[in-house]
Structure 1
């Protein structure tokens, strides 16, 4: 610049904003949370009239520990759905909730008792329940603050809690509907039993781990059947030796080929010796004899299904007990569940300790045994094994298996023994192995016809559930439908009872000295039920355990001495399955028809909350309590490994929030395909933070260039240059993508579309092109006014499109432009987009212009790399275009502004050989030329007219802007 040329820097319209590039989210986010609470954002949204409700019903987390990353994923997803539905124009209410009853909390209190040397069973049950209640209350307060810190909106001041008195009253009331409609019954059948926790468990409380089991091959001598087979043994195989004392039958499959096999060569110390003859499945003979260390064997003859059906065996312990405990016959029975994939082709059947066994027992009238007590020990008076323990209180194996194996070996009943590592059920709380144990339990019969008159979708719980899954519920992803359908289709009756203390009791009475099959066994009196509900509303479920409770509830019409009060508590899944009744139905902010628009949980809840809610509501409402179900996967580390403290690969939400801020965690959720398992770790979070910074830069540009913008400056779209109208077209396209994406809960799709638009279409193209007009044009110049009008439109759409994801950052952006005590981006809706912004022909034209620009900018980059130029404004390229229509399009716009050059020549002349080309774009070539003229000291364009105007060193445009 010459010494006498003025410095025009201060005459430029440079961006002005206090919006920082460094977000400082960890420190600043709590202030926005406090602000939202102060101005009552959630409550103010509820005051908007005329909106259709949208209800996402919260699956209750368990109140017993700090949040893990799975909690964060779940609650952030829910929050993004609620916020996006609200901004689409609905009344999106969200009532957070907590599950409070059940084994996990009770187990924690028991641990505290054991640490103090106290016996839980000697503590007053109400005092114990009160300790459980206080424990849950403490964790609710902690988790509530942790969820709020993630930016999750909702009615935090009035959540639903399953241990509230009203909730306990409704849970009892819902249970009594099963009592009254005929679904409830008491049965004695094998259930998953935890000897450590001394209670039955639901399938949802069971997890499977590798477990090393004993395996034994056992001989059952034939005592009746074909003459040549009498005295010879049928061989069974089992991985639960402790169940042998409870054996009542042997099952075979008529479609399997069986044979009589003889040992011809074996070691002298083997249990199986030369001359031994065994009845086994032909296909498994090699495996059996290998396990028995038999070196030579031969098949003597086939054993037919008819012969097997005619056989009876003796129990291998026949004669071993003085009282004749096992001196009964063991029939051979056909069973489709028997395979020849492993074992011997014969299944030892103990109806008290397996579901297949139980079903066979029902079919053929086999007696049940009651040898195993609640602590997993054999009854004291059981010969040979009395007091032996299957699973110790510490979860380790007891002596029962070894005692049974020794006894069988002692009577010569073993062929072989071994160990097998296989998947085995464990308690999800104590991590101890489970057993199948026959106990009297309370069940809901899911195939019983219900006498409730709600038959529109079926007469049984199963039929109603399957109809609901197929016809009434939208599944995201669709695979969730298949998973739940197959589970409901095959599931057994629902075991409701738990032998615990902390929960809602099974509020029913049974008549003494009456069999469970008798119609008078269960007391069904609406007046009794009403007294229970009324009392629970006032005093909570503890009232069930108060002195005189039986007489109080039975009232004057029933003799307390004639009835037994049931003290089992309900499966906690019944509690959470009932939430539709005391949340959706009963609350003023619930669902008008008691049915949620959406349930959203992890894929494990197909056997958990989705499942129990379906069964419960089908029994009491006649249909599913939800119209839609969204399922997300699990969280894994960056290598795809399951997170565990022992591996040191856990990611704790609190740590991420302290390092990056909650918005980064929310952005990670938005960028993930939540329908599959998601990975998270330090490197992934760094990438997320980088995406965030790029978006933040886009918003900073908008803010800086919108300073002092007013409605008076706005330009009608019809009067805008084509470039601005193309941006509006893209906005109209995106508006459809965003709305459809939000409706489909596809946040990954929405975010990717908006992010690509912001970083590619805006930052790398539109902003880059329009910087010149925004900075250098006069305040009233048409192009600058049009650009600022588009920036204002962009501001309102980007902030509202991104607000459900980046709740804190978009609030910061909004307040930077619209400060005010009551201002918030979360109080506004996504603006409607005029349909006439869509301009497909214009978009097609600009697709060609952008292709040509790509070739020009690539050519200029080569010149810059070769140090031919320092900046693109030094260039005046010649653009050779083979397509005359494209050439006309380029000449119809200010193509030099679009290419950010001082000049450009577009020609259809043949391309010279030296022209720069891009292989992927045919028909366009660029010949580099330098711009002619002087450099404008204000806009830096090189133009021939610079210096010919009143303001020294300026071009005509800048001279005019200076006035």
Structure 2
């Protein structure tokens, strides 16, 4: 009987066809703002806070800087944070998120100064609080812009009341936290080389520095051996006898004759530091030799007869740089560490005409453990004012007073009275190369101090704000001593900040685990914390120094609790501007100490101290903070191991003796599709708003969930198209469920024990997956969660369960099988929507509202439903694994027949399945395997399969022989069955006949 014969009724109206208005085309860019407005109207975030009896969970927001539109890294960062917060909320926590902003600092100052320059205004002529007010206004404007951009990404949080480091209370607490360092004895003023930006005229923290390739001048400079004093018997290792003394004196005379007038050669990539040279150092485990020039080419600074002290491993390279070819030099002798110890050197500029005696003192010459013979000459020129290793060496020797210079001004120019070089600039105001290096090189060449010169391209520190190179410069700065016992009264047994921090690192859980080692090694090696900056927009160092006292004097710093209380009270009411008001010193000191005895410190705090203190005024002080002032999670990019994670740990260990976080999660950097770093100059940047406008925020969020964020991740058009395809497949799954659940009621529900095996297998998979999802979310493994849910939805459901049960859902009457399937779909619906809601915040809301509607309803107001362990059935799962394996072979065999146009659909088949394994055969025989395989009939046989049977190598012991189904095609369910046409209703099978009768009885 054919479907279009007149005698056959149209049974379409009797089918249980899916009904839903849920569109396949999402239209996310247009519709997402509607859901954002809805969430704001019904107050989703605030309503979640009203849920009682829930354990708190707090992610503390690392503050972005308020000075520009969002880039893709911001989107990645905030989306991960949002998924952490939402997933924990839906797992039963009171998950709070207070967004925050870093508002002080140099980039904002620069913007205001730039505006001043355009107007011809001089910043130094503007009252400081007027300038600070403009900085505050600038920051506030960008906070508003970024807030809306973050909200557009679907990020939930207390947007109405974020934390800002420039709020008055925040400025009060930052000052208060600084005062704890003042009072616990770790604050001191010192003069040491720090990374200094001549362009920005301020010290920089390590976290404010990035490394770029830079071409630098490089010179090989000669220091003349002016004096030689070889220790006597001890050096020669002989007992004192007349013969021994005679031999020793002869050896001394020989060595002295060879070394006096020779040159120790150094190599440096910073010629501008040569005027500040105070010493040369060598390695006492390096092999050195004395080399003599025997011939020279034209245009060579070396002269025949010159003798050079060089490390043997580097001698050939150095002499080659001097244009000396093989045969133009010879090695005269070994030079031992004991012999080196007797040398004294002269600076190449010593006694130069016009030098005014600036460099006439002999240079110190000694061993140092940081000298190697892997590059250079084996000797290192020391300017302790411009190098940390040299500074630490001479600090340890107690000789800083003899070697520290102050030759370089804050703007990177030499002091005006420095002979030959006064006023020369290391860098120009625009960050380009100044004239200092060239001037020094030319002068060294003029006085015969150069052996060779050249250029080298190497990785060099730059300010991440101005992008200009930085220098090491000795300046008076304020430091927190991290190796001095903290006198704060905490039961820390006299531990230092470093000791506390290293202990706390191992009390924190790190994701990924490599973050622990990264921060630990940094904390082991870091110097004292430079707290001060020579700028205007920030929280001042609220302290006073006694006039006439030295930084080493016990009364140099005013430590007075009453004074501190006055300051913080003023900051709470007026903000940090109070420090800069006229008469501030008298206001804070009068009646407690004599204001005339003290100087007011004018530096501001490093902005990393600001952000490192955010735990105090956000977690500790706010009602929606935490009781102990500790966050459950800090989550930022991996660069924050030297930034926010680092400064927060230092600050908290200095003020409360422990880390401010329990978990630290880090993400990598976002690259373009080819794996290149994004750069405006090469035009490969991707702005979040572009993705949102084209695809919708949910696609961007799904990209985050699909990537391994702990490593660097790529993004580009093709990648986003792949993400959009995954999204469509998921959307189709949700649409299928919505259609099948139309008019589902509680009275339709079936208890698991009454369900068919296939439904109970789905419940088993749900119970398994529930553990995977909860564990993954708890471990912040969004890629693992999404992959597990996506695979389940597309493979277990769409390609298997839905495919099988479509027939029962559409064609069955009110059967247990159909009611069981719909019950399972309902259980699936609640789990899939809540499992995916932290990722696809907009789409899961759309799915939820499509089914439940309601003005106050939202998927984000519900929790992930608890999944009973009783659903787990490993025995059933093992059985159905055998069934699915056999089904794959049947499906593949029928696909061959469909390709060959033997059949049009699998329902035209009734294959014979030969199964070798008795257990697998029994499994197939115990279920309706024809329904599972979507055939009209099927036979399972234990007989050996014929040679022509279809087999799959990966499924052993299963073979399929194709047979066509016998009978007629049912005009309602399309199965080919022998009983079609033998029932009351024409052209249909017995199952459909009964279903049609039910429809007719319902009227």
TM-score above 0.5, yes or no: yes
Aligned to 1:232: 262
CA distance in 2, matches of 1:165, 1:457: 35
Asked whether the equivalents of residues 41 and 826 of structure 1 are also in contact (C-alpha less than 8 Å), the reply is yes
Among candidates 609, 620, 624, match of residue 655 of structure 2: 620
CA distance in 2, matches of 1:668, 1:752: 12
Aligned pair 1:349/2:349, yes or no? no
Q: How does 1:785-796 map to 2 (within 5 A)?
A: 785-796=819-830
Q: Does the Cα contact within 8 Å between 1:880 and 1:906 map onto a contact in 2?
A: yes
Distance 2:874 2:66 in 1: 54
Among candidates 320, 332, 337, match of residue 290 of structure 1? 320
2:283 to 245, 253, 256: 253
3-state DSSP of counterpart to 2:150: helix
Deviations 1:616-670 (A, max 9, x none): 0000010110011001000001110000112111111000000000000000000
Give the Cα separation in 1 of the matches to 2:161 and 2:583: 34
Which residue does 2:961 correspond to in 1? 927
DSSP 3-state at the match of 1:294: coil
Contact conserved, 2:486 with 2:494, CA < 8 A, in 1? no
Pairs within 5 Å for 1:342-741: 342-364=375-397, 365=399, 366-456=402-492, 459-470=495-506, 472-741=507-776
Cα deviation, 1:427-459, whole Å, max 9, x if unaligned, reads 111111111110100000000111112243861
Alignment of 1:181-330 (within 5 A): 181-226=184-229, 227-228=256-257, 229-295=259-325, 296-320=328-352, 321=354, 323-330=356-363
Deviation at 1:180, TM superposition (A): 0.3
Change (3 A) 1:714 1:312: same
Q: Which moved more, 1:809-818 or 1:210-219?
A: 210-219
**Mean Cα deviation higher: 791-800 or 405-414:** 405-414
Please report how far the alpha carbon of residue 111 of structure 1 lies from its aligned counterpart in structure 2 after TM superposition.
1.5
Counterpart contact for 2:487–2:494, Cα < 8 Å: no
- Partners in 1 of 2:959 and 2:378 — Cα distance? 78
Cα distance in 2, alignment partners of residues 767 and 269 from structure 1: 86
Runs of 4+ off more than 4 Å: none
- Structure 1 position 73 matched with structure 2 position 98: no
Alpha-carbon distance in structure 1 between the residues aligned to 2:188 and 2:684: 47
- Per-residue CA deviations over 1:58-94 (Å, capped at 9, x if unaligned) read 0000000000000000000000000000011000000
Superposed CA deviations along residues 233-290 of structure 1, whole A, max 9, x for unmatched, are 2111111111111111111111011111101111243110111111111111111111
Q: By how many angstroms is 1:322 displaced? A: 5.1
SS at match of 2:19: coil
Distance in 1 (alpha carbons) for counterparts of 2:923 and 2:273: 85
**Aligned-pair Cα RMSD in Å:** 0.9
Say which of 117, 125, 129 aligns to 2:128: 125
Q: 1:22 aligns with which of 20, 25, 38?
A: 25
8 Å Cα contact 1:96/1:156 also seen in 2: yes
**Whole-Å separation in 2 of the counterparts to 1:877 and 1:360:** 86
The CA deviation at 1:587 is: 0.5
Q: Is the 8 A contact 2:383 2:403 kept in 1?
A: no
Q: Which residue of 2 aligns with 1:37?
A: 40
TM (norm. structure 2) is: 0.95
Aligned residues: 961
- Checking the alignment, whether the CA contact within 8 Å between 2:349 and 2:355 is kept in structure 1 is no
Secondary structure at the residue paired with 2:590? Answer: helix
Secondary structure of residue in 1 paired with 2:414: coil
| Post-superposition offset of 1:117 | 2.2
Moved more, 6-15 or 104-113: 104-113
Q: Secondary structure at the match of 2:850?
A: helix
SS in 2 for 1:629: strand
> 889, 902, 919: which is aligned to 1:868?
902
Q: Residues 281 and 367 of structure 2 are in contact (CA less than 8 Å); yes or no, is this contact kept in structure 1?
A: yes
- Displacement of 1:231 in angstroms is 2.1
Rounded Cα–Cα distance in structure 1 between residues aligned with 2:620 and 2:13: 64
The answer to whether 1:943 aligns with 2:946 is: no
After alignment, is 293-302 or 675-684 more displaced? 293-302
Shift of 1:684: 0.2
Report deviation, 1:924: 1.1
Which ranges of structure 2 fall in alignment gaps of 5 or more residues? 230-255, 998-1003
Moved more, 908-917 or 491-500: 908-917
The aligned counterpart of 2:248 is none
Any idea what the Cα deviations from partners look like across 1:805-842, whole Å, max 9, x if unmatched? 00000000000001001100000011001111000000
Residue 196 of structure 2 corresponds to residue 164 of structure 1: no
- Work out the CA distance in 1 between the residues paired with 2:76 and 2:185: 41
Cα shift readout 1:187-243 (whole Å, capped 9, x = no counterpart) = 000000111001111011111111111111111111211522222221111111111
Q: Distance in 2 between matches of 1:194 and 1:166?
A: 31
- Taking the aligned partners of 1:411 and 1:933, their CA distance within structure 2 comes to 110
Secondary structure at 1:94's aligned position in 2?
strand
Distance 1:716 1:799 in 2: 22
Bigger drift between 201-210 and 111-120 goes to 111-120
Match of 1:51 among 49, 54, 61: 54
1:804 alignment partner in structure 2: 838
Distance of 1:343 and 1:175 partners within structure 2: 43
Match of 2:365 in 1: 332
Deviations 1:765-799 (A, max 9, x none): 10010010000011x21100000000000000000
SS in 2 for 1:329: coil
* Rounded Cα–Cα distance in structure 2 between residues aligned with 1:70 and 1:950: 68
Q: Is the 8 A contact 2:171 2:571 kept in 1?
A: yes
Question: Equivalents in 1 of 2:897, 2:15: separation in Å?
Answer: 29
Aligned equivalents of 2:568, 2:699: Cα separation in 1: 47
How big is each residue's C-alpha offset from its partner over 1:5-63, in whole Å with a ceiling of 9 and x where there is no partner? Answer: 11000110000000000000000000000000100000000011111100100000000
Larger deviation, residues 232-241 vs 527-536: 232-241
Contact 1:457 1:623 in 2 (8 A): no
Partners of 2:453 and 2:887 lie apart in 1 by: 78
Mapped to 2, the partners of 1:916 and 1:313 lie a distance apart of 90
Give me the TM-score of the superposition, normalised by structure 1.
0.99
2:850 to 812, 816, 820: 816
Contact 1:457 1:463 in 2 (8 A): no
> Equivalent residue for 2:881?
847
- Alpha-carbon offset, residue 487 of structure 1: 0.2
2:241 aligns to what?
A: none
Write the distance in 1 (CA, Å) between the matches of 2:494 and 2:157.
36
Contact 2:355–2:420 (CA<8 Å) still a contact in 1?
A: no
The question of whether the paired residues in 1 share the 8 Å contact of 2:563 and 2:592 is answered with no
* Range with bigger deviation, 365-374 or 14-23: 365-374
**C-alpha distance in 1, partners of 2:675/2:710?**
15
Matched residue of 2:725: which SS?
helix
Alpha-carbon distance between aligned partners in 1 of 2:943 and 2:338, rounded to the nearest angstrom = 95
1:755 to 790, 800, 807: 790
Residue in 1 that maps onto 2:812: 777
Query: What residue in structure 1 maps to residue 250 of structure 2?
Result: none
